[in-house]
Amino acid sequence: MKAFQFQFKSTDHKMVENVVKPVPSKDEVLVRVVNTALDSTTQEIIDKEFPVAWVVHKVQNPLYLGNHYSGIVEALGSDVDAKDLQVGAAVFGFLQYTPSQTQGALAEYITVNYNDCALKPKGVSFETAAASTVEPLTALQAIRNKGGFKSGGSILVIGAAGGVGSAAVQIAKNLLGASHVTAVCGRKDVQRVKEEFGADVVIDRTSEPNYLKRLIQQKQTFDVILDTPCVLPSSATKLLKPKGTVVTTAPTGTMMWNMLKLIFSSKSAASVIVNSNRSDLNSVGNLLEADKLRVPIESTFKVNDAKTALLKENGKKSGRVVIQVENGWN
């Protein structure tokens, strides 16, 4: 049986092909994709940029793109014993970021390990579910797993209006029990980050580009600093409390220098590589269902207009760019 698959070829960057419908292995489920959302690394993968593209997807031609997904379980592998993952169940998650990844969610069907997806939260649309996978899990795993954040702690979030940053503010407040969240963003997003996402203090980096120097002079300190755009200098470690951690969303040179600099200190530096797993997806789903996590959606495009969607993803936007896969090929 054939199925639609969106392919990016080096010659034309765009082509829809009929490919063999995938068959789940014994520990996988077959998911009929309803929606996907474009990833911030999509263009880098298309351009085969080193090192990002080579870390998150198999560099090949053609490329099968898209990681985030929401959809319907259509078939189960022989060893799938999760009682909630039955045929017909609505699920969400994302394809793991790995150099061996060859699938893409810009497709009618994908296969995923049954532990890598979760039931779509009730009352939450397929569009919102597809847009609420990678970024919230990145934020959660960065703060909790890499940062060692504990309830009652304080956190500084850089890039608080972006996908990971906005999720981090809300997850810190509504799931991890943060007593104080200081957020940094551009002028146009200050009100939204404070009123919609719930930051206690919002710093406008547009009008105060030297905010870091002020915070250091005021001797403010935090248990975790989450640097989502990876822009902080090494001096930012002065803002850490004892046993505090600065976490980046990519392994940068500054992060590695901080690791060396802090090797004999109680402070630390780390980067996060997000992992799709049912437990964390369920945590995010519970927040979505309780309206304690808001994921802004900029626009939705049919999959046959993915080229326009990619232009939007690469340009100015105020939320996620979602792709309608189901009934979106014509």
Residues 168-186 have a mean pLDDT of 98
Tell me: do 261 and 139 sit in the same domain.
Answer: yes
- DSSP 8-state symbol, 121: P
- Is 289 a member of any domain? no
Instruction: Provide the domain limits for residue 204.
Output: 135-271
pLDDT at 233 exceeding the cut of 80: yes
- Percent of the chain at pLDDT > 90 equals 81
pLDDT-derived band at 307, boundaries 50, 70, 90: confident
pLDDT at 1 exceeding the cut of 70: no
Q: Count CB-CB contacts under 10 A for residue 153.
A: 21
Tell me: do 49 and 87 sit in the same domain.
Answer: yes
Identity of residue 261? K
pLDDT at 136 exceeding the cut of 70: yes
What angle is formed at CA 272 by the lines to CA 243 and CA 221, rounded to 5 degrees? Answer: 30
Residues 149-154 have a mean pLDDT of 98
Torsion of CA 130, 13, 15, 30, to 10 degrees: -30
* Beta strand 268-271 pairing with 201-204: unpaired
Please give the model's pTM, rounded to 2 decimal places: 0.95
Tell me: do 157 and 127 sit in the same domain.
Answer: no
Q: Per the structure, how many domains does the chain have?
A: 2
pLDDT-derived band at 317, boundaries 50, 70, 90: confident
Q: Is 184 exposed, middle or buried (0-12, 13-18, 19+ CB in 10 A)?
A: buried
CATH code, domain carrying 241: 3.40.50.720
Tell me: do 20 and 72 sit in the same domain.
Answer: yes
Q: Which residue has the higher pLDDT, 82 or 133?
A: 133
Tell me: do 148 and 121 sit in the same domain.
Answer: no
Residues 221-229 have a mean pLDDT of 98
Tell me: do 124 and 154 sit in the same domain.
Answer: no
pLDDT-derived band at 132, boundaries 50, 70, 90: very high
At 17 the pLDDT is: 78
